[in-house]
Amino acid sequence: MKFYTIYLALLIPIVFIQCKQTATHEINIIPKPHEYVVSKGTFKINNKTKIVVLNNSLTPLAHFLTDQIYKVSGLTLNVAAEYTENNNNIILGYDNNLGEEEYKLIIEKKVHIEASNYNSAAMAAATLMQLINITEDQVGFPNISISDKPDYKYRSVMLDLARFWHPMETVKEIIDLLWFYKIKYLHLHLSDNRRFTFPLDAFPNLKTVNEDGSREYYTLEELEYLVEYARKRGVTIIPEIDLPGHSTQLWSKYPEVFGSIDPKTNKPKTLYVINMAKEETYKAVELIINQLAKVFYTSPYIHIGGDEVYLQPIKELPEYKTYCKKQGLKAALAGNANELFCHFINRLNGMVKKTGKKTIVWEGFHNTGAGDVQIDKDITVIVWNTTYNHPENLLNNGFEIINSTWIPWYQVEAMNFAPNPEIAYDWDLGDWTHWEDDIEDIQLSSKKGILGAQISFWEQNYNKVIEVLKDRVPVLSERLWNNENSTDYINYHKRFISTNSTYDKLFMPIEIKGTQLINKEGFHFEDKTDIIISAKGKGYIKYAYSNQWGLPSEYLTYTEPFEIKNSGLITAQLFDESNKAIGYPVQQYITKIEPIYNYKVYESTHEANKIPDFSTSRLLREGVTGKMNNVRLKEINRDLFAKVKKEGHIDTRFEGLYNPYGLELLGNLEIPSDGSYQWQLQTWDGLAELYIDGKLICKGENFKNEPEFFTVNFKEGNYPFQIKYFYKNIQNQLSILYRKEGDGNYNHFEELVVPLK
């Protein structure tokens, strides 16, 4: 060890002096390093290359690195514990003189990684894998010297595991994505009204089970496995149990502990929060916090929730006044239950600190507290909505905060809400932007006290996680890592194309295609399609075809394209010669449709309150879309809480496009007979217009999810039609119904539409 330290001390200055004489070139690394110098030449590796660890604690990282190199190159590197004068080495070691997340990567005759700790060494390994270059005759890394560290220490992604169930493979895949782009934390939202996914032996009824009997909670062994899986990659998991609100599972299933029982019905009272006025509740919550601290031992934080708290029902409990009087909560006794809420947060903060960790809460309390209770200043606040508390107020009063603004860092699948990466790249740490027009944008000049930022991904099905995050996580990483030099999106995107290609080879090494698809974007076919599955690396492919979502338990070996004639889910996985999976399963849903519309999707804004002028709007996509059917409706509703009805519903969703946008649908319809026709138009958070034969028939004027009615006379015949639609923020829903005057029920507009040839 002493020899290694002396050797590097002599070597590093020589390398940097030599590199200063060469030109600095662009390199494909995200986030962009602070300091780097590129030299001529390549360090080539082969099966004789060794990864040398100069500290035993780095051995797991060395084995992880060998696995990644093997996946993309087929080379098997050995791990050694002793340094030798062999030039064909990748050396991992520590340098105590470096800062907390600082590392140095030097590639010349050897590869040297020096880091302050295990996590920063893992980040250096991610940089190394982004640099790997594979050609037909060699595998290697460009000669380069990098000295790097992040601008902001809190770089995080939150995953909502409580609204929709996520298999272990999805959580592991997101951990690998975070490692690859140097995101430090994975925040797991483990509980909400629908599910409590953290197992507690003391409260077994919290273990939620699906309608089909399948488990929708994680075992302790699974969570402990995830903690170690993340630790080996330099990622730390932060657990969250959302309290006191978002807690229906607690107060409804164990009202004697977390809630209150109605003596008249002997059923749980609807509180919307756990019972903060009962000692039994606090004892049970402390048990939960202690268990979280034990399982997630690597995390410096525990997140206790603290947002969207409805307090009126708790004031009506008989124990409310007794508890508030005992605790000296005068404002709460006078009716201001926010004082009890703030007392609750502080009391839980004390429990968290007893475990040796720090408390994080969502922005949810007002000002700095309520009544005589001031929120403890050692609590970190994630500011997301800015309506409960202004970030400047929190900073001025001594709180440390984290930015998770709606635009661009909130991703809400049930809202089809995922601001695009280019918008995200223009964001700055002091910026908060809301999707609601009447909430003002915030731009803080001083960033002092802002620890960093977080992508918060809510209400998503497991299959949407990587689809959305793989384009957005690298943007967050770059803006928090090297903020001053993150100014050119075009340059960033060029680098992203390269890193994304490497990521796919490592973790998504399968591509699924279909023949006879209707559009370039989206997997829609009319009659039948042949499925073609290809690998991005060496190995053999297995696949499964099903009409249900989920990861299959059995696969078939893929040898040639196969034909399908019905909608369904294709799952494909790459395996090596020893039958070990390479990367993760890749899934693609293929939808059979009856084409009836030509469509064009246009760019719009959240601020717009009318249908955009399509003649001046940027065209995002065009193609053909189909008639609503039961299979497609089921797929739409799978992602929603507020389900859409089939009656009159028109498909206005397009894979990979997120709100807001404008839509134009064109086609022909057949009026069956002369007469007066009544039309019912309904949108939710959008507007629509229907033109028939060039004439405006229906003009929507409200965003309130209320039907609007119109009556027009028609002659029998075939007419061209145009639908203009604008979808703004939350619920993407367009419904058009019709009936001839004198008829009873309304009919779906699409019954009139003539199929496209």
> Any idea what the Cα angle at residue 31 is, between residues 28 and 32, rounded to 5°?
60
Give the integer Cα–Cα distance in Å for 99 and 96: 8
Give the integer Cα–Cα distance in Å for 531 and 528: 10
Give the integer Cα–Cα distance in Å for 270 and 305: 19
Give the integer Cα–Cα distance in Å for 131 and 159: 28
Is the dihedral angle over the CA atoms 489, 490, 495, 496 positive or is it negative?
Answer: positive
The residue type of 362 is W
The string of DSSP letters for 119-179 reads HHHHHHHHHHHHH-EE-SS-EEEEEEEEEE--S-SEEEEEEE-SSS---HHHHHHHHHHHH
Give the integer Cα–Cα distance in Å for 1 and 81: 11
**Within 10 Å of residue 52's Cβ, how many Cβ atoms?**
23
Residues serving a catalytic function are 308
The string of DSSP letters for 467-485 reads HHHHHHHHHHHHHHHS-TT
Give the integer Cα–Cα distance in Å for 636 and 630: 10
Judge contact between 131 and 113, C-beta under 8 A.
no
Q: Does the N-terminal peptide bond of residue 300 adopt cis geometry, omega within 30 degrees of 0?
A: no
Judge contact between 693 and 752, C-beta under 8 A.
no
CB contact set of 228 (below 8 Å; sequence gap of 6+):
none
The residue type of 108 is E
Token pair, residue 543, equals: 């696949």
Total number of residues shown for the chain: 757
Give the integer Cα–Cα distance in Å for 589 and 655: 11
DSSP collapsed to 3 states, 431-453? EECCCCCCCCCEECCCCCCEEEE
Give the integer Cα–Cα distance in Å for 518 and 629: 17
**Within 10 Å of residue 438's Cβ, how many Cβ atoms?**
5
Is the dihedral angle over the CA atoms 654, 536, 130, 222 positive or is it negative?
Answer: positive
Judge contact between 441 and 408, C-beta under 8 A.
no
Any idea which residue has 């940027």 for tokens?
618
Give the integer Cα–Cα distance in Å for 738 and 745: 9
The string of DSSP letters for 588-643 reads EEEEE--EEEEEEEEE--TT--S---TTTSPEEEEEEEE---HHHHHHHHTT-SSP
Helices (H), 617-730: 630-637
CB contact set of 253 (below 8 Å; sequence gap of 6+):
203, 205, 206
Give the integer Cα–Cα distance in Å for 2 and 5: 5
* Ramachandran bin of 398, using left for φ above 0, alpha for ψ from -120 to 50, beta for the remaining angles: left
Give the integer Cα–Cα distance in Å for 17 and 59: 31
* Ramachandran bin of 328, using left for φ above 0, alpha for ψ from -120 to 50, beta for the remaining angles: left
Give the integer Cα–Cα distance in Å for 143 and 43: 6
Give the integer Cα–Cα distance in Å for 686 and 588: 29
